[in-house]
Structure 1
Amino acid sequence: MAEALPPWNYIENGTPTGITVEVVREILKKINHPDTIVIYPWARAYRMTKDGSNNILFSMARTPEREPLFNWVGPIATEVVYFYKNKDKKLHIESLDDAKKTSMILITRGFPEQKYLLSKGFNNLFITLKTLNSLQMLARHKVDLIVSGDFTVKHFINKKKIEGTLIERVNIELLKFDLYIALSKNIPSNEVLKWQNALDQLKASGKYNEILKKYIGDSVN
């Protein structure tokens, strides 16, 4: 199972796709397992994997709180979250305090960065439901800053959803987390190892990098 979260997992033309979907499909081929990937709301998929049997959920940040709840295969990638601004906007952001002084920062509802910035005392956060909406508003000079993972921005630029020359990353690293495939605790260790070995082989063969490039290209350094 996966949630709708580009570029990792989402529905396109009625079919699950994305970086992790393709990675998992390659693993399934290697271990001779049928492709049974479905996209579910996060809360439902998380509960089914944590409390149920023989379920697998991706992509999940591996945190200390979640560590004992699942078996883990990965990492798939490391996501880093930054502020982004319009390149034409004369903003000098060198610290969190500088960002607090801006009039409006768009942030995607429910993402880890929302909780993080609230804990840092930000009161200029405005919520959107999709990161693409935030990027589009930033390109039109509607907001000062947005917050996004670097892979996500690269994906939307590569897919021509947003013009990359309009967007500039502010090099203040807000969050950094590894994304994994989470497996129900009842799944035996030999099966978990089979998945891990298949992922390691995928990386060694170069196929993993081909998948990444397909979705994020070379849009942003």
Structure 2
Amino acid sequence: MRTFHLPLVTLLLLLVTTSAQAIVLVAAELPPYVIRTQQGTPSGIAIEIMKEAANRLGEPLTIELMPLARAITQTVHRKDVLLIPPVRSTQREHLFYWITPLLDDEFVIVTDRRVHPNPLKVKDLPSLKVGTLRYSFGQYLLKQRINLASQTVATEELNAHKLQRGRIDAWVAAWNAILYNQHTGGFSADELVRGETLMRTPLYVAASREFPFSEGRRWQATLDEMRKDGSLARIIRQYNYQAPE
């Protein structure tokens, strides 16, 4: 009797352990999508969306917060993690399994009203100092569109300070990231002039190309359900997010 039950008990223990294993979410620190807090638990629109999805799936969620460049590298080489919130591009297309979009934003040019009171277009940028986030989609767009090497920094809030101090002439980033970091930098959005929109694009949840397809489909289905029942819109509204029209 013992020899019959021991393997069965072992199997049950393995199943329990497997089902309780937390999903690791690699979160690129990109406010307002992913925000580092003083309490240690990250917040932000993308974080709240993924927490709700994990709750519906009945799966624990372990969040690893890190800079964008490291988050991208980590996800490429780790087959068991999810990544938020990268933008899908031709440069990154082959790197990831693109599970589903989370929300939309627009990459735009902004300037300081005191220096450049008129909205700028892409064609105006080659003669100017333009700030972007290092390894960001904004940096990629400028290189792709006009072969412009921008001045890069580690956080978007640094771009807000550089624009305020006249160290850059223009700032290219996602519109909601600009608004958030302008505020946290201690400046008013009224000081900004919004110029040309470079691209409207979704921000995704992605994973390594070796991430299990069946697991990715579960997350996709759950996030689609949240989109249909209004949960995504509710979370987005809580952050005063300005979705593209």
* Shorter-chain TM-score tier: 0.7 to 0.9
Q: Which has the higher contact order (CA 8 A, sep 6+)?
A: 1
Percent identity of the aligned residues?
23
Could you say which residue in structure 1 is the equivalent of 2:227? 203
8 Å contact kept, 2:32–2:44: yes
| Pairwise CA RMSD | 2.9
Could you say which residue in structure 2 is the equivalent of 1:105? 130
Q: Structure 2 unaligned runs (5+)? A: 1-25
TM-score normalised by length of structure 2: 0.74
Higher helix share: 2
Could you say which residue in structure 1 is the equivalent of 2:58? 32
Q: Quick check: 1:146 aligned with 2:171?
A: yes
2:156 to 131, 139, 153: 131
After superposing on structure 2, the runs of 4+ consecutive aligned residues of structure 1 that deviate more than 6 Å are none
Deviates more, 1:192-201 or 1:104-113: 104-113
CA distance in 2, matches of 1:60, 1:75: 10
Deviates more, 1:46-55 or 1:14-23: 46-55
Alignment-mate amino acid for residue 76 of structure 2: K
Deviates more, 1:205-214 or 1:59-68: 59-68
Shift of 1:127: 3.3
Structure 1 residue matching 2:202: 3-state secondary structure: strand
Could you say which residue in structure 1 is the equivalent of 2:84? 58
Could you say which residue in structure 1 is the equivalent of 2:188? 163
CA distance in 2, matches of 1:199, 1:40: 23
Could you say which residue in structure 2 is the equivalent of 1:184? 208
Shift of 1:25: 0.4
Q: How many residues align?
A: 218
Could you say which residue in structure 1 is the equivalent of 2:10? none
Per-residue CA deviations over 1:86-136 (Å, capped at 9, x if unaligned) read 23435445533323344x33222222332433452447x433332222223
* Cα 1:200–1:106 shift into 2, 3 Å: same
